[in-house]
Amino acid sequence: MKNLSISDKNRPLNKKKIHQLVYYLSEEIGFSIQALQINFINNNEIRELNKKHLSHDYNTDILTFDYSNDKELIDAEIYISLDEALLNSKKFEVTFEKEIKRLVIHGILHLTGYDDKSPDEKKIMKRLENRLLSKINFTLL
């Protein structure tokens, strides 16, 4: 697959809208931000990060690095693979934009204490992702 830019058919992601999404999530979930960097990268870059930091030699859609000591005050980095987001959007038959929103929500949920390692945790997290996603009525593109 060719590397993607931060776009869906040449429409760039709107940085202000990403900030709006994070602010909305902070109000809904109840957290503050000390520092948060969200990086949109390609599969080559996310695979290298996954290999370097987690010893996983494969692509993933999102990596979250939490530097916080407090789940209510976020200090973190989120890396989202645009290549994987596009593949996921096709696989799950959703728009690219909806998949990007879901991934941002997913990363924030991890940073606020949710996990998806066990089937029960995964079910709880997925339910919350879907609830939050259904309430967002603005576009990112």
Residues sharing a CB contact under 8 Å with residue 80, sequence separation 6 or more, in sequence order: 38, 39, 40, 41, 61, 62, 100, 103, 104, 107
CA dihedral over 6, 8, 11, 16, signed as positive or negative:
negative
pLDDT beyond 80 at 12: no
How confident is the prediction for the chain on average, in pLDDT?
89
pLDDT tier for residue 51 given thresholds of 50, 70 and 90: very high
CA dihedral over 10, 13, 8, 80, signed as positive or negative:
positive
pLDDT of residue 3: 33
| All domains in the chain, ordered by first residue | 12-135 (3.40.390.30)
pLDDT of residue 4: 33
Residues sharing a CB contact under 8 Å with residue 117, sequence separation 6 or more, in sequence order: none
Q: pLDDT digit string (tens) for 31-48? A: 999 999 999 999 999 999
Q: pLDDT digit string (tens) for 75-99? A: 999 999 999 999 999 999 999 999 9
pLDDT of residue 79: 96
pTM of the model: 0.88
pLDDT beyond 90 at 13: no
pLDDT beyond 60 at 55: yes
Are 51 and 94 within 8 A, CB to CB? no
Q: What are phi and psi of 31, to 5 degrees?
A: -145, 165
